[in-house]
Amino acid sequence: MTRLSVNINKIATLRNARGGNIPNVLKIAIDSQQFGAEGITVHPRPDERHIRYQDVRDIKPIITTEFNIEGYPTDSFIQLVLSVSPNQVTLVPDPPSAITSNAGWNTITHKDYLKKVVSVFREKGIRTSIFVDPNPEMVKYAADTLTDRIELYTESYATNYSMNPSKAIEPFVIAAESAKIVGLGLNAGHDLNLENLNFFAKNISNLIEVSIGHALIADALYFGLENTIQMYLKQLR
């Protein structure tokens, strides 16, 4: 059964816009877990424009569900992850100036670098996932890094879903099968929402986890956080 990890970055963005501690990021993490989230995801960036490094340190000891830290593996990010020791680290190739993640790793070009980074986390017993496009070649070479999982970048699926769902998901089905063949666990995320999530989950049989933030937090403005998390979980069941 596919797990739902709630990305709480947008809560931190709202807090930081005004200063202070409203909304309270730590309370949101606890509440999301209580409301059914099977994971909490954060994506700290070097400028700390949403989730701050201290938030990451503060969240780990107060939750019992899975903790997933996403980010580009700068030295400071690697040290943060090693000090916090989350359940999972997801390596994302976004530069510091990126508004949001917009591409997967080229696992051919960066294979040796990724293998080195993955080995650092494996020594600490931290599960690793590499953010990749739905390309069988990228999946194949991701396996050579000895990562535990990949996370499929689902923006193209979300963009094309309303025009032709079957065509939109086709490359993801192929990539998912490639992951199965090379023995990689499979996560997915980016622009998944209440409209397109169920179709995706039904057609990707080996999907372990989805990480959803922007759409879920936006829906929570209308439906409330507890109800929204339950609505997303329903799409996965």
Q: Which residues belong to the active site?
A: 43, 70, 190
SS3 assignment, position 57 = helix
Q: What is the pairing mode between strands 149-153 and 185-189?
A: parallel
Please tell me the distance from the alpha carbon of residue 35 to that of residue 63, in angstroms, as a whole number: 13
Q: Is the peptide bond before 23 cis (omega within 30 degrees of 0)?
A: yes
Q: How far is CA 44 from CA 6, 49, 134, 192, 218, in A?
A: 14, 8, 24, 20, 20
- Residue 193 to residues 5, 105, 198, 208, 213: CA-CA distances in angstroms? 13, 23, 9, 17, 9
Q: Which two tokens stand for residue 201?
A: 């989950």
Cβ neighbour number for residue 126 with a 10 Å cutoff: 19
Q: Give all strands (DSSP E) within the chain, no chain letters.
A: 3-7, 39-42, 66-71, 88-91, 127-132, 149-153, 185-189, 207-212
